Every structure is written in C-alpha cells, then in structure tokens.
A and B are shown apart, each in its own frame.
Chain A
Amino acid sequence: MEKSSTLTILGISGSGRKRSFNSALLEAAKPLLPPNTTLEVFDVSRLPLYNQDLELDLPEVVKELKKKIRRADAILISTPEHNYSITAVLKNAIEWGNRPPRDVRGAANPLQSSAPQHRYEEEREPSSTFDRS
C-alpha cells in the first residue's frame, strides 16, 4: 500500500555557513516528520560552480547529488534570502539539477520518484546580522 511505504525527503540548505540557521531548520525538521518518512540532508555548498564544460566529466559530488535526487520522493529547501532572491548556492544546485538535460528526470514516470516536490522554507535575517560567509 502506498500509504505505508517509506517516503524519502532530501533536505537542501541554501547556506553553507557552519552555523547556518537554515541548515539548523532542516535539523529541526527531523523530529517533526510524519510517520514513515525520512529526511536526509545534502550539503550543496560543496558543489562546483555550474559550468557546461564540467558536464563532459561530471564531478563526483554532482553525481552524488543527482543520485540522491533520483532516490528522493520530495525535496525540502531551506534558504536565506539574498538580494530579494534565493542564494547563489541554492541556484547553483538547481542548475546542476537540470543539467545535463533529462539527467534527473530520466525515463521514469515523471510523477513518481523523478519529480520531487519542492518546498521553500525561507529564513529572513535582519540585514545587520546577515552573515554571508
């Protein structure tokens, strides 16, 4: 039965900062998960800056991300707001998610594992304490 199957959520933080509140939010989500659900966090700040040249020989860390996206049923995003938008770290992860084309979407049913849901969970900090490290 669908209902009883375990659902895998991939958590992505838009900040690579060691003491990131957004990464902390993903940790805070773990004990609050509904039954039969797991949450695994992947650090996308380790990804190289997207460049099409790299597609010829995908870096290991990119392959690792793609594998986790394919396995995930849903994606949970927690990101700071930088300049009224998502962070460069998060945007970079999204570029890698859809390049090369059809890499993640694959041949599977697009409504199943290969089309994870997206969820923004934003955190705003007063600009005076905005730590962009």
Chain B
Amino acid sequence: MIDLNMYPINRPLLMVANAKDKFDENLKLTDEESIQTLRDVLSSLVDWTRKLQR
C-alpha cells in the first residue's frame, strides 16, 4: 500500500463484532448502528477521494 502511494482512511472504522447477530439469514445487514457507520465510511471515502483528485 505504501509502495502504491495509497491514502488509507483511518476513521470512521466499521467493526462488526458478533457478526452472526447483525445479519439475517439471507446475509442482509440488519444492525442499524453498523448501517449508519457504513454510510459514514462511504461518505468519508468519497469525500476524501474527491479532495485528492483535485
């Protein structure tokens, strides 16, 4: 990653503990808190990517 000169985003970080309780039987994510963090992760990733592309 360093060799490729990548810019990792450290936060927000989504950690899904006890994953088996946070997905339904069809592997759909059902845990509201995880869904919100995932949304935050994606908006941070997109924001930073757009900033770095300027």
Contact = CB atoms under 8 A, between A and B. Distances in A.
Given A21-B16, A111-B52, A115-B6, A34 B27 contact: no
Contacts of B50: 2-3, 7
Nearest to B2: A98
Contact of B4 (A2, A73, A115): A115
Chain B contact-residue range equals 20 to 34
B5 A34 contact: no
Contacts, number: 113
B53 A2 contact: yes
Most-contacted residue by chain A among B1, B5, B23, B45 (CB, 10 A): B45
B29 A74 contact: no
Nearest to A129: B20
Interface string A55-90: 000000000000000000111100000000000000
Contact of A74 (B5, B27, B49): B49
